[in-house]
Structure 1
Amino acid sequence: MEFSDAIQLLLIGISQGCGYALIAIGFVFIYRATEIVNFAHGELMMLGAFMVLTFSEIWGLGFWLGSALGILSLGVFGYLLDAVVMRRLVGQAQATIFILTVAIAMMLRALAGMIWGWTPLSLSVPFSSDITFGGVVIGLDRIMIIVGTVVISLLLYAFFSLTRTGLAIQAASQNQLAAYYSRIPVKRLIAVVWAIGAMVAAVAGIMMAPVTQVDTGMSIFGIKALAGAVVGGFGSIPGAVLGCLIIGVAEPFLDFYFPAFKGTYAYIIMLAVLFIRPEGLISQTFQKKV
């Protein structure tokens, strides 16, 4: 492998890992607030991509307006998903919640197939050209994935660190009972967390759509993002980003040298890390307080 090829694979891997990280951030947000692992999160990303495709392509509203409407629609869907469905399962066994989220994932995938069909569709984006430097050719869409991940991460950090709502969500995620007695609207804030997680998943769908096309199978990225979150330390946002970047960078190189196991390396890396360090690379430990 030549040096330029290695750099190109590295950039592809970083962009891929950033795409996984956007999905994993939503996983971790919801888990931190509710202790629920939402196995339908990849389907929320898929649904977001289809909604943007509908607004921008089918309805002809253009990419930017279509993206804004698609993200907002996923936020509403995430809010209602908690308010109408998930909130009723508070106190139920984790197995019950696991089965429900898997069922929701299957229903969303089937619904998307019935509405938009099972054939991959293309989403036209204003950043589809290629950039060449030093013999390395990289798509502008992949650069936008990296930039978008950095921007979204900074915006979320500012929201949760500098706003009253963000601080209240942090308090509710650490001790819901104490937050309730402190007159924090816990139920509403948890629904807001679901909405934020769904909107971030929609952004991931928009970023990944030019690379993979829009179809029901793109929800598989949710499972790879979950693997990245486990590698980094489930419950830790920096850990989830780190784990997804490790998987994203490793996949192109491993696929190149060992193509026989292509598509499985995310899970192989996850199993290897679990054997060596079950708590993940960055374990999440904190004292519960309000």
Structure 2
Amino acid sequence: MSTFLNLLAYGLADGAILALAALGFVLIYKATGVINFAQGEFLLIGAYLMYTAWVVLGLPMVVSVLVGIVAATVVGVLVERLILRPMVGEDPISIIMVTIGLAMLLKAVVQMFYGTTPRSQPAVLPTGSVSVLGATLPVNRLLVILIAAVVLTAFTLFFSRSKHGIAMRAVADDQQAAMTMGISVRRIFALSWALAAVSAFIAGVLLADLSAVDQNIAAFGLMVFPVVILGGLDSVPGTIIGGLTIGLLTQFVSGYLDPGLATVIPYVVLVLILLVKPYGLFGETRIERV
């Protein structure tokens, strides 16, 4: 029972971070139709923005978080404005290659300023433990689950209740119709990239606090693809279900079977979902008549 509860806590924490990272991916795809292969590097940038503000500049933690959110927003808007907007109307393969190049660029920028050596910073979350049903669970993992739940709930309310959220949903459904209603599609594109960068910043900070500020954060971001394929490329609720499923599956396979198998099991799930249900569990099925 103790092992099960520990794996459950670790799996839910990993899944919550994956859901946050995948949320940004889905936001960009729903609003712009772009498959962003640089989402993992957005997590990396987020972690190093927090490190720079908190450790290098010596700002208070709360101020560092706010500075990081503002900086992530600026990065997202600049990427959309300077890199993706000129590619509007181009072949999808060309846009995919641009996002792959963007991933390499972002990683190179981090390595240029910080190198490849892992950096240490004070713990953002408490590092103690609590006893639950006879199992000793880490407090920071439990808080990660709580923080991610709050952030995901806030995003959900934003999409369903706010003016800009409803505009984003309108653009995702039909750009031409949204334009006739006076919605600025370009502004929505920029907003989607900004929100994606903010969700990646939060995910990157939480992941760095659980592990370390290093290049492996971008590698963790690769598991975003199994998450969005499982949940659906255009489904926000699907990202939550997909993230938690992949996080739990990875931890349980690692704990009960083989840690080596746990590194590949998300991609096995990806292949199986593509074979059985290509649009994911909650994705919208599109049928094109020719």
TM over 0.5: yes
Task: Give 1:116's match in structure 2, choosing from 111, 114, 117.
Answer: 114
Does residue 1:237 correspond to 2:251, yes or no?
Answer: no
Which stretches of structure 1, 4 residues or longer, exceed 6 Å deviation after superposition? none
Alpha-carbon shift at residue 42 of structure 1 (Å): 1.0
The share of aligned pairs that are identical, in percent, is 32
Residue correspondences, number: 285
Q: Distance in 1 between matches of 2:193 and 2:159?
A: 14
* Residue identity opposite 1:265 in structure 2: I
8 Å CA contact 1:123–1:209 kept in 2: the answer is no
Alpha-carbon shift at residue 276 of structure 1 (Å): 2.5
Q: Distance in 2 between matches of 1:170 and 1:120?
A: 39
Match of 1:213 in 2: 212
Task: Give 1:38's match in structure 2, choosing from 33, 36, 39.
Answer: 36
Secondary structure, counterpart of 2:131 in structure 1: strand
Match of 1:24 in 2: 22
Secondary structure, counterpart of 2:283 in structure 1: coil
8 Å CA contact 1:49–1:202 kept in 2: the answer is yes
Does residue 1:145 correspond to 2:144, yes or no?
Answer: yes
Which residues of 2 match residues 1-290 of structure 1 at below 5 A? 3-124=1-122, 125-256=124-255, 257-285=257-285
In terms of mean alpha carbon deviation, does 32-41 or 120-129 score higher?
A: 120-129
Secondary structure, counterpart of 2:282 in structure 1: coil
Alpha-carbon shift at residue 285 of structure 1 (Å): 4.9
In terms of mean alpha carbon deviation, does 126-135 or 242-251 score higher?
A: 126-135
8 Å CA contact 1:15–1:145 kept in 2: the answer is yes
* Residue identity opposite 1:127 in structure 2: P
Alpha-carbon shift at residue 190 of structure 1 (Å): 1.0
Q: Distance in 2 between matches of 1:171 and 1:260?
A: 43
Q: Distance in 1 between matches of 2:178 and 2:132?
A: 53
Secondary structure, counterpart of 1:264 in structure 2: helix
Secondary structure, counterpart of 2:263 in structure 1: coil
TM-score (norm 1): 0.94
Provide Cα deviations, 1:241-290, integer angstroms capped at 9, x if missing partner.
Answer: 1111111001112123123424111111211222222221223259xxxx
Q: Distance in 2 between matches of 1:156 and 1:260?
A: 35
Secondary structure, counterpart of 1:222 in structure 2: helix
Alpha-carbon shift at residue 35 of structure 1 (Å): 0.6
8 Å CA contact 2:125–2:209 kept in 1: the answer is no
* Residue identity opposite 2:250 in structure 1: E
Q: Distance in 2 between matches of 1:197 and 1:179?
A: 21
Secondary structure, counterpart of 1:263 in structure 2: helix
Q: Distance in 2 between matches of 1:162 and 1:99?
A: 35
TM-score (norm 2): 0.94
8 Å CA contact 1:122–1:209 kept in 2: the answer is no
Go from structure 1 to structure 2 and tell me whether the alpha carbon gap of 1:25 and 1:188 turns closer, same or farther (over 3 Å shift).
same
